[in-house]
Structure 1
Amino acid sequence: MDAAKTRRRGAELEAAILTAAWDQLVTEGYARFTFDAIADRAQTSKPVLYRRWSNREELLRATVRHRGAAASPQVPDTGNVRDDLIQALRRASGAENSVAAMLTALVSSHFDDVGLTPAELRAELLGSRSSSIETILERAVDRGEVDADMLTPRVVDLPFTLFRHEYVMTFAPPTDAAIVEFVDEIVLPLIRRA
């Protein structure tokens, strides 16, 4: 360890630790988000970390708060809502996006041992059969309730995309009120016949 690094104190030391913790999380995943690895990456010792955070969850929360405070998202203003939304979503999908990086690190850690992505596991679960949503929408087209031209693959997947999003963000199934909102306020307006 270099002597200058050992003299860091207070806010400077904490910022260095939290930056190292973020780097550890996004490059190595949550499984390797350990006090040993973070202390090594921050060029400090484990006792220094334990004086500030008593466990990995506390350190993770502090790391995420630190990263969130440092990020200053730019809100697009192109002059129209469509282009603003597209730009915002493109930025969110970029490698520099904190939320995307964090979710990828956390979720991928759970699949390291299995070797499959959630999409691959879903494909295994469904096999060659259609999803229930596809069947429901085909029936709705036959009854004249739904515009078949609106049923792109992304729109067909939208109900479960909303469901998965809610589940990933809360680690709990969507409430009944959320499910009704997904259908009534988001999906049906997209697919109903004019």
Structure 2
Amino acid sequence: MRDDLTTQTRRRGATLESAILRAAAAELIEHGFAGLTMDRVAKRAGTNKNAIYRRWPDRLALGIAAYRQLATTIEPPDTGVLRDDALELLRRANRHWSSPLGAVLRELLGAAGGAQSLMAQVPEQSADAMTAMWLTVLGRAVARGEADPAALHPRVATVAIVLLRNEFVTRGVPTAPDEVLIDIIDEVYLPLVRKRGQV
């Protein structure tokens, strides 16, 4: 009778996976990626390490999967003005990068190194997702006559966020002053997308 009860209450499949991810996400918030251990996640989820390793091969894969539970999908801004939309996208990225969740993301990026296939699983770090958001903003600007249609190229559309990431890397700090964001938009991005294709 006792064995039957244990079998009935044992979590499996999606239920167990969800419990593990919730536990891992809570550990990330409390201890960061550096403090994420399979032992603590297993204890918190009420399972064993084997159940975790069957789903995620290592701590990094689990950390990225847990981060995905914490990250939220955001819609691109639509103020009706390209400058405002582009600046808002940079400000969002800047705020996120310096937030507690951004600190977890920075740890994951550092741990992943060149593991691009893993980082593609992080929503806002996916090249496709980021490009799509910037192309949406730029496409609206083209439709309004604010930008040259020739600017609708992924590398052109995302140049502002690439420059902001460069600031983080070269300055070694998790946030950039607002004047830097304004410079990126006013001195580089807007002139580029407005003059694209002109002689």
| Coarse TM-score class (shorter-chain normalised) | 0.3 to 0.5
TM-score, normalised via structure 1 length: 0.44
Highest RCO, 1 vs 2 (Cα 8 Å, sep ≥ 6): 2
Could you say which structure has the larger radius of gyration?
1
